[in-house]
Amino acid sequence: MYDIEELYQEIIIDHSRNPRNFGKLDTANKTAEGYNPLCGDQITLYIELKDKLINKIKFSGSGCAISKASASLMTEAINQKTESEAIIIFNNFRQMITKTTDEDYDSDILGDLEILKGVSAFPARIKCATLAWHALKSILDNNNQEISTE
Ligand code: ZN
C-alpha cells in the first residue's frame, strides 16, 4: 500500500536533505536575498539570465525543511524557462499555497511543485514555502523595471 501523503513527505525530506542546485553560482548576473523572521529561514538566490532565459539557477542559505525543499523544487521547475514562463509558474504556485482568490491553479504547469500543496493548510509555514519564490519574483520584477526605465 502506498500512501500518497507519505510519498510527498519523502520527496520533501529528500529535497531538504539533498537540495538540488545548492551552492553559489559564480556566473550569476542576478541575485536576491530572502529572510523569513518567523522561522529564521534565509536564502540567497543566484540566477544567470541570458536574454530572457533563466539559463542557470542556484541557491544557498539555511532554513527549515519546507523552505529548503521549496527552493530546491523551484530551481528544478524554472531552470531553462523564460522569464514569462517563470512568472506563470510563480503565479500558479502562489495560488496553490495561499489560495488568495477562488481561481484554481494549473496542475500541469506546477508538476512536482504540487507536492507542496499540503503546506496551504498550515498558515505558519506558508512563508517558508514562498520565501524562495519571493526572491525569484524580486529578481524578475527588478529586471523588468530596468528594461522599462531605460
Ligand atoms: Zn521555515
CA–centroid distance, residue 1 to ligand 1 (Å) = 31
| DSSP string for 102-119 | SPPP-HHHHGGGGGGGGG
Q: Which residues surround ligand 1, an ion (CB under 5 A)?
A: 39, 41, 64, 67, 128
Residue 103 CB neighbours (<10 A): 10
CATH number corresponding to 4-148: 3.90.1010.10
CA–centroid distance, residue 63 to ligand 1 (Å) = 6
Q: What percent of the chain has pLDDT over 90?
A: 79
User: Chain-wide mean pLDDT for the chain?
Assistant: 91
Residue 148: its pLDDT value, please?
A: 41
Q: Are 43 and 59 in contact (CB under 8 A)?
A: yes
Grid coordinates standing for 122? 498550515
CA–centroid distance, residue 29 to ligand 1 (Å) = 27
pLDDT at 93 over 70: yes
Domain boundaries defined on the chain: 4-148
CA–centroid distance, residue 109 to ligand 1 (Å) = 25
The per-residue pLDDT for range 2-50, each reduced to its tens digit, is 566 777 788 999 999 999 999 999 999 999 999 999 999 999 999 999 9
